[in-house]
Structure 1
Amino acid sequence: MAPVPSTNRPVAERWYLRHAALVRITHWINAVCFTLLLMSGLQIFNAHPALYLGERSDFDHPAMSIQARLSEDGLVGETMIAGHSFDTSGVLGISSEDGQISRRAFPSWITIPSNQDLATGRRWHFFFAWLLVLNGLVYFAWGTVRRHFDRDLLPSRRELSHVGREVLEHLRLRFPRGEAAKRYNVLQQLSYLLVVLVLFPLMILTGLTMSPGLDSAVPQLLTIFGGRQTARLIHFAAASSLALFVIVHLVMVLVSGVLNNLRSMITGWYDLGSPRTPDVT
């Protein structure tokens, strides 16, 4: 049940059941799966921290790499993107462990396991990848039956015409209140559709394309994605985009009312009468 409000407004006007139980459950499963997939994926990337275009690795011309080079001052982290190099010491390329500097694309604190162990990282990655797929299928089936996507996430032409205004409102940290807060705004709708219908499917399909066994059964995947190495590059880009989405998502949760947001995604109940209503949940 919703908490008893400390205001004279009727309960029915203040508390709104925004998220169904299945949405809340799949949301938190997704959060756990994606976190562990990201950390184990970075462990896998560290085993060969370079990305290529095409079917085979072109070691002399990577599309992107995170390496360490030896300079007069010692090891220097260096990230290369499309032929342009950047000094990323202290962030990427080198890692300090037990007081010793070592070559490592991503630091140990963000990988599973923390030590370099490709086999264990792959086991973690594959387990939570399939759990994410099953969870996503449940959510997609429920959303299709309940018309969640076209009713809640598909913006109307009128809403699309307000994209510029919504961007300005977000930059000013002004968020919907009252009745307007019951429905996702157009920026939420577009970002959630991008995640649900583009980034997650793209990440899953490119992940499957990197499997030699599946390539034998469905060779068309290699054709679609332009080769195994291109699929790996797209997989990395999709995962990076999802990580960026999560960061923005968390920032919006914090600035738009963290307690109200967390309550709505844990219990389902959303306080329309609070001083700052949630914008992203």
Structure 2
Amino acid sequence: MAAERRSVYRHAFTTRMAHWLWAACLFFLLLSGLQIFTAHPTLYIGNQSGFSFNNSVFSIGAFYQGSEMKGILSFGGMQFDTTGWLGAVEEQGRLVAKTFPGWLTIPSYRDLATGRVVHFFFAWLLVATLLLWFVASVFNRHISRDLVPRGDDFRSLGQDVVDHARLNFHKRSSYGPLQKMTYFGVLFVAMPLMVATGLTMSPGMNAALPFLADLFGGRQTARTLHFVIMLFLVGFFAIHIIMVLLSGPISSLRAMITGWSSVEQEKP
């Protein structure tokens, strides 16, 4: 079989617009979220938190070992030295007690109020973009045609994983099994959970929708899940960028800017 190339209109305008808006929203949500987390860098399970409860599962902090400051990350009973990059970070040539370095938060200095304003603005922008994308994708059949995994996708998943591991990428007019399942998981599982756990942490939403706290096992559990989903999305973003670079960044960028993509067309 000889492979030829042809151009297809792969991404609708609403898909491309949503893609870039999501990228911007998630960037600002991550950095402002870390600013908010700095105010109390400990995660718990349940409804309550504090010194009188033994329900913390993760924390970042600093302590003194003699006259030397040390950063420490605690997770599940284990402790890791993070001096210099978490808990105790270097600023102007000396270590200071700070959860994250300044380049990793918005604002770069400690300012919870501004971090919350930035976070909530981009959170609602993300929700609005998700809703608009969903409505448009139902009407243009992007969801049913491109994102919902089918029987053939599950049967071909193993080979598709092997092909990706071997960096053997196929430029097709439709998403492969691994792409479909990953995008479906991000758009219909991770992002809705991120929004729902974020709403659960709001006292106002607790009053309006009290079942949310029960659904996630308490406000503190929702906060922990929110943090875990954030880590998952950061991991997805990192892998996504690596795959784009390995499979041809110019072609991928052109497709996500213009909608047109060059794909393989097999013929005898």
Shorter-chain TM-score tier: over 0.9
Write the deviation string for residues 26-60 of structure 1: whole angstroms up to 9, x where unpaired: 11011001100000000000111000011111435
Q: Corresponding residue for 1:6?
A: none
Question: Are the equivalent residues in 1 in contact too, given 2:41–2:60 (CA < 8 A)?
Answer: yes
Question: 1:63 is paired with a residue of what secondary structure?
Answer: strand
Rounded to whole Å, the distance in 1 between the matches of 2:153 and 2:123 is 34
- Higher mean displacement: 197-206 or 156-165: 156-165
Match for residue 92 of structure 2 among 91, 94, 98: 98
Rounded to whole Å, the distance in 2 between the matches of 1:75 and 1:185 is 50
Gaps of 5+ in 1: 1-8, 274-281
Question: Are the equivalent residues in 2 in contact too, given 1:52–1:58 (CA < 8 A)?
Answer: no
- 1:271 equivalent to 2:262? Answer yes
Q: Which structure 1 residue ranges, 4+ long, deviate > 6 Å from structure 2?
A: none
Write the deviation string for residues 117-142 of structure 1: whole angstroms up to 9, x where unpaired: 00000000001100110011000111
Gaps of 5+ in 2: none
Write the deviation string for residues 169-220 of structure 1: whole angstroms up to 9, x where unpaired: 111110004xxx1110111111101111111000101111111011111111
Q: Corresponding residue for 2:137?
A: 143
Q: Corresponding residue for 1:80?
A: 74
Q: Corresponding residue for 1:118?
A: 112
Answer 1 or 2: higher relative contact order, Cα 8 Å, separation at least 6: 2
- Higher mean displacement: 97-106 or 241-250: 97-106
Q: Corresponding residue for 1:154?
A: 148
Rounded to whole Å, the distance in 1 between the matches of 2:85 and 2:96 is 13
**TM-score, with normalisation over the residues of structure 2?**
0.93
Deviation at 1:151, TM superposition (A): 1.2
Q: Corresponding residue for 2:16?
A: 24
Question: Are the equivalent residues in 1 in contact too, given 2:58–2:73 (CA < 8 A)?
Answer: yes
- Higher mean displacement: 34-43 or 159-168: 159-168
Write the deviation string for residues 130-177 of structure 1: whole angstroms up to 9, x where unpaired: 011001100011112222212111122122112221111111110004
Equivalent positions of 1:1-281 (< 5 A) are 14-59=6-51, 60-72=54-66, 74-177=68-171, 181-272=172-263
Question: 1:14 is paired with a residue of what secondary structure?
Answer: strand
Question: Are the equivalent residues in 2 in contact too, given 1:14–1:272 (CA < 8 A)?
Answer: yes
Rounded to whole Å, the distance in 2 between the matches of 1:61 and 1:164 is 40
**TM-score, with normalisation over the residues of structure 1?**
0.88
One-letter code aligned to 1:93: G
Rounded to whole Å, the distance in 1 between the matches of 2:216 and 2:251 is 42
Rounded to whole Å, the distance in 2 between the matches of 1:136 and 1:156 is 23
- Cα RMSD, aligned residues only: 1.4
Write the deviation string for residues 204-246 of structure 1: whole angstroms up to 9, x where unpaired: 0111111101111111111111111111001111111111110
